[in-house]
Structure 1
């Protein structure tokens, strides 16, 4: 493999990690907020997860659209790009995160003052990050995902 090819592969993984960290930020805000609200108010596990996923998508899209708007694009166009750039990444992250969370014994029943609640949530998000990086790498290598974002929004 040539030095140029090695550099291109490394840059692709770096971009994928950056895109996934960005995705994780929106997902984590929504996930933590949804899990906290759902747990504190006594919602069922299904309702809590639905709230968390909805908020994760909302915050993920909002953060991306905000970043894109800084390039000068109109809000409507920024939202369209955010939907294209983030949908699969957020979906994978949320699927893995919530499957991990419900697989941890006692996590969904732990109260918000419990270390089990917070450690389970952090662990589930970490697992989701690791699984989502290759998904974003694959998307970017095919000109999709964060590859569709305006150049100035990458910085």
Structure 2
């Protein structure tokens, strides 16, 4: 092999290595963005879902009406959390809503179908009161399953330049065009996710404590009645 051939061979090898490395970096970046996008959608859905299920359970709505309320509020808050950053970046409300509807609808719909299906089949979750651990455990399981169900959906959309890729594109474009201060949704998402997790754990702890207290009162009542002559 001549020096020229060796140099050509090394050049091709370096090019192939660089191509594979770039592809690997792109795949890793896509997975990271998909996780961030899914968490962002899950945050809005969780706020609406928890609020809807709490309201429906508290006022004694049927399972069907409770699910309808939870789904409606989940879409409302899911769209809201994606629309606010675009409007703050300088995009008009109508344009922001059209982008968000195109970007988030499939992801939110996937989450809602899976989330409510899990809540419906989780033993006692929909019939339980707010002070019943079954409600809070069901919510935790449902939201976790919904996240993993929506993640491949967001990956698929991002690979085709859709989904949250549209939101990021218009968000950055609007901010650059107007000179507005950029507001990155992903920066707020971890704090919101942490708050939701803390809220769910708090609800579980309170419900367990309430159940323990009720059992103690029942035992005390039975004991006092048995002690009567």
TM range (shorter): over 0.9
Match of 2:118 in 1: 100
2:52 maps to 1:25: no
Equivalent residue for 1:128, pick from 146, 154, 177:
146
Equivalent residue for 2:82, pick from 35, 44, 64:
64
Q: What secondary structure does 2:91 align onto? A: coil
Match of 1:16 in 2: 34
Match of 1:40 in 2: 58
Bigger RCO (CA 8 Å, 6+ sep): 1
| Deviation for aligned residue 1:154 | 7.9
Q: Output the CA distance in 2 between the equivalents of 1:154 and 1:120.
A: 33
Q: Output the CA distance in 2 between the equivalents of 1:47 and 1:32.
A: 14
Q: CA RMSD in A?
A: 1.3
Q: Output the CA distance in 1 between the equivalents of 2:36 and 2:88.
A: 18
Any idea what the Cα deviations from partners look like across 1:56-98, whole Å, max 9, x if unmatched? 0000001100011121011111111111111000000000101
Runs of 4+ in 1 over 4 A off after TM superposition: none
Equivalent residue for 2:137, pick from 110, 119, 134:
119
Q: What secondary structure does 1:11 align onto? A: helix
- Whether the 8 Å CA contact 2:115–2:145 is kept in 1: the answer is yes
Q: Output the CA distance in 2 between the equivalents of 1:146 and 1:36.
A: 29
- Whether the 8 Å CA contact 2:88–2:183 is kept in 1: the answer is no
Question: What are structure 1's unaligned runs of at least 5 residues?
Answer: none
| Deviation for aligned residue 1:143 | 1.1
Question: What are structure 2's unaligned runs of at least 5 residues?
Answer: 1-18, 173-181, 185-229
Aligned residue pair count = 155
Q: Output the CA distance in 2 between the equivalents of 1:141 and 1:68.
A: 22
> Which TM-score applies when normalising by structure 1?
0.96
